[in-house]
Amino acid sequence: MIDELIRILNHKNVEWEIYWEAGRGSSFKIERGRLERAQRKYHSGIGLRIGYKGRQGFSYITGLNHDRATLEKFVNRTIKLAKVSEVPFLGFAKESKFKRVKGLHDRKIEELSFEDAIEYAKVLLEKEKELKEEIGKAYTLSGSLAFGHAVDGIANSNGVEKQEPSTAMSFGLYIIKREMGKNGSGSYYKGFRNIPDFEEELSKGLKSALRDADLSFNAKQESGFEGEVVLEPHTAVSIIGILMSNLYADNVYHKRSRFENPGVDVANEAFTLIDDSTIEGKLGSYSFDGEGNPSQRTVLIEEGILKSFLFDEYYAKLMNAKSTGNAVRDFRTTPHIGTSNLIVDGRREDLEDLDNAVVIKKVFGEHTANPISGDFSLTVELGYKIEDGELKPFKDNMFVGNVFEVIKSINALGKKEEELGGFISPRILTFGKIV
Amino acid sequence: MEIELLMKRAEELARKYDISYYEVRIAKINATSLAMQNSQLEELSSNTEIGIGVRAFSGAWGFSSANDIRRAEKAIETAMKIAKINRGSSKVHEDDPTSEKAYIKTKKDFENIDLEEKLNLVREIDRLLKGDKIVNRKIIYGEGKKWQFYFNSLGSEIETLVPKIRLSFSATAKEGNDMQSYWKVFGGTRGWEVIERINFEEWTSFVKDKAKALLRAQLPPSGEFDVIMDPELAGVFIHEALGHASEGDAIKNGESILGDKLGEKIAVEELTVVDDPTLKGKFGSYIYDDEGVKAKRVEIIKNGVLNEYLLDRETAAYLELEPNGHGRAQSYNYQPLVRMSNTYIEPRDWSFEEMLGEVKRGLYLIGDKGGEVDIANGTFMFGAKEGYLIENGEIKAHIRDVALSGKILDVLKNIKAIGKDLKIEFPGYCGKGQWVSVDDGGPHVLTKALVGGLL
């Protein structure tokens, strides 16, 4: 059907781009020791962009099995939109060589029957039941598990024609401890492109979630503190997330970014930030982006110096730059700028075995922060003070600061990295205030 | 495929797979959106989507969806197969069958308004937002109509139509290295009349002036303060501080700290909190939920007492209560979850001036910048667009970038005064793994909270 659509488009006097997807997802929810919810969902569709006399039209259609008449109607409707539209059109991506990123597809996930998938969910359920037996009735355990398989394809009138299959699997664990009017909670989430040693990963996850639930249960609100703080990767992703919109070319172009040009000193030299969609087997990786541009490694901040913004094709053309392969989309949307794998790197130090430190493990509420002024006030879900090697957990305080100051105050990064979805970061030593 | 045929096929398949309860939603969504930034049109799209979502129950849920309607029968069979494999011992509330055509009517159908007129609208707002120090202007207009046919194994057949319209615009002001934004959102389950009622001159000036004024505003102090919240902030406050913790699934799963507190006094006596999907024209309104249950007004807290949870069919059966029409799904391809609709604090009799007089040293905080809650630990936070310091009952310096945090079970008892000026006109979206449209509000409210200021 895609070939049929391309044939129709090639007979029209327009520039065109189609982006198609077909996928399937299976997911399970475990609530209070029961497998309560299971689902298997299918999705497919085509997004069509038409370029006509410097204007762009876009529409989408769901499903991938349409007759010629439906496709003709779809094409004509989008051309009509391009004719009345005032959305500027600067051209689609050109055909270019790209290197296929390895490890993004696992045949085992693709071929997993629902019956096989539910067996994994039962393993998760059993593991939680075993743990619950061990730790007792003060604890409530829940969990989730998901498998996904999709094929994404792109073709345009410049001769670009690519497609890529990908798979993913993820699980989440959530433990609550409630006793004598006190509460604590711990969670763990991990995603993969390939099926891992599931039992081993579950054991690791349950251990981590239980540790956090116990710490959280014993945590109290701390008195205020201002000074050196260690941000664990979970907090780092929240803080770096506030910074990111300032590095998107569209926001730079439209003056919604703190930054105007690369080459300026924006952070401490201990800090480097990279967007890299080419890493084998990572969740944020892809071989080509939503416009067909090849994936690449883009250094955004290097040793404190702003090196580059993230570009899609449109803003690259507007700003005399090259696309960094950061157009993200699905078939329902036009491309927009987004991250792939975000990597925090830089000057390393041993931040793993500290005798005295204030550590912030998790915060929440980052969407309430102001990305252009950089100011944030986030609730501490879990943190701990280490005093002479002893852990004193705290929660319900607020971690306050300014993201631009935080990155200027980074003194060192830990040696051990953690992967949180497409975010890869060690611990970060910086300056902060807790109220 | 004909709906009647599909209904018949669902019945046959349910017999084959021994399914005790099932429900099917077939939806058709028309949506148009326009987005402009700094006079440049960035989006103009108009799309139609049709899809099917199926839930089957046999003590546990099986769900399947498809956006290719030719897969409709397959989706029904898949959901039933899953439910058969995944048998459990949960219950679901089964009620008497309902047959109704429930359309939300508009005064002026936005689909009858020319695209050109909508384009002129965003152009005009863009023009009005221009001004000294304003470096960015952004306007987003969206409209959508969702037609849905719901049927279930009990014999219910419900056809609904929900129109939604939303307009937001923002201005970003810059001075030196400092930048501040302000924005305003309008919307509801109404038609083009929402747009016709807006005084654009007034609101664009207001937004521009606020963005510029915030450049000169101070950073907020930190610590525990008496806080007067305006109606918009009171809305997000009650949404975060109470709404999520009163959702039936959080109760059933043992996640919420309000788990065994029904009938207990958890707030000051003056506090009554309502979630009401039946309010006319609000952004979170509907006639039937996505489980074919009629929407009902729920008094979550009545005179300080935890009075009712928000429930769907499953949580109602678990708690041996009646469902109250709060099972909502983002779209046909999502399973319904327990969600809020329009959540607000009932007004009392305080005037704003009386409230102000009560505060020796505190903050007057305005506008909603979103929030988040940890229902297990009972901690929530939310952000305000702006605020003012209060000293000895008088409004003083302007402050910016303010966020607050509190403990659910403390903060509801710390409310000192509830105003009489109720407003529920703050459309937004609530995320819980799925996005649904909501509204919230209240009168001015005086309470105590932890302010995370930078000073």
pLDDT digit string, tens, across residues A71-95: 999 999 999 999 988 999 999 999 9
Inter-chain touch B85–A114, beta carbons under 8 Å: yes
Inter-chain touch B43–A334, beta carbons under 8 Å: yes
Residue of B nearest to A370 (CA): B401
Torsion of the alpha carbons at A65, A70, A76 and A77, rounded to the nearest 10? -90
With beta carbons under 8 A apart, name residues in chain A contacting B82: 38-40, 114
Domain boundaries, chain A: 1-216, 219-434
B338 near B312, Cβ under 8 Å?
Answer: yes
**Residue pairs between chains A and B whose CB atoms are closer than 8 Å:** 242
Grouping H, G, I as helix, E, B as strand and the rest as coil, residue B38 is: coil
CATH for the stretch B20-215: 3.30.2290.10
User: Which of B90-111 are b and which e, b meaning 16 or more Cβ less than 10 Å from the residue's Cβ?
Assistant: bbbbebeebeeebebebeeebe
Across the interface, of B47, B181, B451, the residue whose CB is closest to A372 is B181
Inter-chain touch A373–B178, beta carbons under 8 Å: yes
- The answer for residues whose C-beta is within 8 angstroms of residue A17's C-beta and 6 or more apart is A48, A49, A51, A92, A154, A155, A156, A157, A160, A291, A292
**Residue with tokens 């290097």, as numbered in its chain:** A302
Report the alpha-carbon angle B339-B342-B344, nearest 5: 115
* pLDDT value for B455: 73
* pLDDT value for B70: 85
Going by CATH, does the domain composed of A1-216 fall within 3.30.2290.10?
A: yes
Inter-CA distances, A263 with A258, A372, A407, B59, Å = 14, 19, 16, 61
With beta carbons under 8 A apart, name residues in chain A contacting B317: none
With beta carbons under 8 A apart, name residues in chain B contacting A396: 377, 379, 405, 407, 450
Residue of A nearest to B405 (CA): A379
With beta carbons under 8 A apart, name residues in chain B contacting A367: 370, 372
* Beta bridge pairs of residue B34: B44, B141
B329 near B434, Cβ under 8 Å?
Answer: yes
Which parts of chain B sit beneath pLDDT 50? none
Element (H, E) at B273: strand B273-275
Across the interface, of B51, B86, B136, the residue whose CB is closest to A38 is B86
Q: Residue A320: which of A255, A372, A252 has the closest Cα?
A: A252
Across the interface, of B47, B223, B377, the residue whose CB is closest to A183 is B377
CA dist B185 and B124 (Å) reads 16
pLDDT digit string, tens, across residues B288-326: 999 999 999 999 999 999 999 999 999 999 999 999 999
Across the interface, of A44, A185, A255, the residue whose CB is closest to B68 is A44
Chain A: nearest CA to B447, how far in angstroms? 18
Token code pair at residue A179: 């006793």
Chain B: nearest CA to A415, how far in angstroms? 30
With beta carbons under 8 A apart, name residues in chain B contacting A170: none
Inter-chain touch A254–B67, beta carbons under 8 Å: no
* pLDDT value for B359: 98
* pLDDT value for B288: 98
Across the interface, of B136, B378, B381, the residue whose CB is closest to A364 is B381
With beta carbons under 8 A apart, name residues in chain B contacting A332: 47
Inter-CA distances, A239 with A277, A399, A412, Å = 21, 10, 16
Q: Residue A171: which of A150, A149, A142 has the closest Cα?
A: A142
* pLDDT value for B68: 83
* pLDDT value for B1: 54
Inter-chain touch A32–B78, beta carbons under 8 Å: no
Inter-chain touch A368–B82, beta carbons under 8 Å: no
With beta carbons under 8 A apart, name residues in chain B contacting A372: 172, 179-181
Average pLDDT of A304-315?
98
Torsion of the alpha carbons at B53, B57, B62 and B64, rounded to the nearest 10? -20
Domain boundaries, chain B: 20-215, 223-453
**Residue with tokens 């077939």, as numbered in its chain:** B26
Token code pair at residue A192: 């993969």
* Beta bridge pairs of residue B48: B30
Mean pLDDT across chain A, nearest whole number?
Answer: 96
**Residue with tokens 């993913």, as numbered in its chain:** A168
